[in-house]
Amino acid sequence: MRSFDELVREAANADVTGWGFDWLAGRATEERPPWGYATLLARRLASVAAALDLDTGGGEVIGEMPTLPPHMVVTEAWPPNARAARERLAPRGVTVIETVDDRRLPFDAGTFDLVSARHPVAPNWTEIARVLRPGGHYFGQHVGPGSAFELIEYFLGPLPAERRQRDPQCETAAAEQAGLVVTDLREARCRMEFHDVGAVVWILRKCPWWIPDFSVDRYGEQLVELDRRMRGGTPFVAHSTRHLIEARR
């Protein structure tokens, strides 16, 4: 294994735009939820005339879809991701909207048959219900409560209140309060393994909301200890939580 400094330097300079995770190949693994979100989404997109994908990242998921509806729109708030999404999706006729205000979606009421999202930041159920046509569906895979918290709490210590956020039952209640009917809710807990300290540095840069003040200098002691542990053959194990939710207007 390369030196601590080499691994950290490489990870600190690597590209983290978009929602691709190929950089971690051979360095970290994560089990996938059992339901196969991309396959299920592809079926739904092939059967509607107008669809909206929220928080699309670099357009990775929509870019994989074999068939898109005639009217396909995606939104993304982070400018580097929005640029990546345009490059990836514009050739397929997809409209990319760079959002600046999460409180209101920039679309007329009843515009879409389907609204989708993989790992949305904070779904605004009222706005989702507003832009769906009567009988339209929301279909999303969300990050659940306490996701990757073994890693987060290694650096920050116990976070009991934060572990209760993103609860699927609370999201179901919020969706129904906004006028939607939840028709499917599934939950999964998936094993994550990190095999070198560079993988940890990269993922904390990729997901800056995990440790908002993260830097190699600030958390150097913890990173050195992680590196020592991994060099002894022990990966760092955490668990992601996910839930699949579908709702009808």
Band of pLDDT at residue 26, cut at 50, 70 and 90: very high
Q: What is the mean pLDDT of residues 216-230?
A: 96
Q: Is 133 helix (H, G, I), strand (E, B) or coil?
A: strand
| Structure confidence at residue 186 (pLDDT) | 98
For the entire predicted model, the pTM comes to 0.90
Tell me the torsion sign for CA atoms 171, 176, 179, 184.
positive
User: Which tokens hold the place of 153?
Assistant: 């709490």
The closest alpha carbon to 156, from 146, 165, 169, belongs to 146
φ, ψ dihedrals at 49, nearest 5°: -95, -25
Q: What is the mean pLDDT of residues 159-165?
A: 88
Share of the chain above pLDDT 70, in %: 99
Bridge partners, residue 240, by sequence: 190
Q: Are 200 and 226 in contact (CB under 8 A)?
A: yes
- C-alpha to C-alpha distances, 99 to 76, 167, 212, nearest whole angstrom: 6, 25, 22
Q: What is the mean pLDDT of residues 161-189?
A: 96
| Structure confidence at residue 101 (pLDDT) | 67
| Structure confidence at residue 121 (pLDDT) | 87
Bridge partners, residue 30, by sequence: 192
The closest alpha carbon to 55, from 129, 126, 143, belongs to 143
User: Which tokens hold the place of 208?
Assistant: 């800056």
Q: Are 166 and 119 in contact (CB under 8 A)?
A: no
Band of pLDDT at residue 1, cut at 50, 70 and 90: confident
Residue 246 has pLDDT above 80, yes or no: yes
Q: Using CA atoms, how far apart are residues 226 and 101, in angstroms rounded to an integer?
A: 39
Q: What is the mean pLDDT of residues 8-26?
A: 93
Q: What is the mean pLDDT of residues 157-178?
A: 94
Looking at residue 213, the DSSP 8-state letter turns out to be T
| Structure confidence at residue 56 (pLDDT) | 96
Higher pLDDT, 101 or 29: 29
Mean pLDDT of the chain: 96
Q: Is 152 helix (H, G, I), strand (E, B) or coil?
A: helix
Domains of the chain in start order, with CATH, are 4-248 (3.40.50.150)
The closest alpha carbon to 238, from 142, 149, 167, belongs to 149
Q: Are 51 and 74 in contact (CB under 8 A)?
A: no
pLDDT digits (tens, 9 = 90+) for 65-116: 999 999 999 999 999 999 999 999 999 999 999 998 667 899 999 999 999 9
How many Cβ atoms sit within 10 Å of the Cβ of residue 225? 12
Q: What is the mean pLDDT of residues 221-244?
A: 96
Q: Are 114 and 157 in contact (CB under 8 A)?
A: no
Q: How many residues does the chain have?
A: 249
Residue 161 has pLDDT above 90, yes or no: no
pLDDT digits (tens, 9 = 90+) for 189-219: 999 999 999 999 999 999 999 999 999 999 9
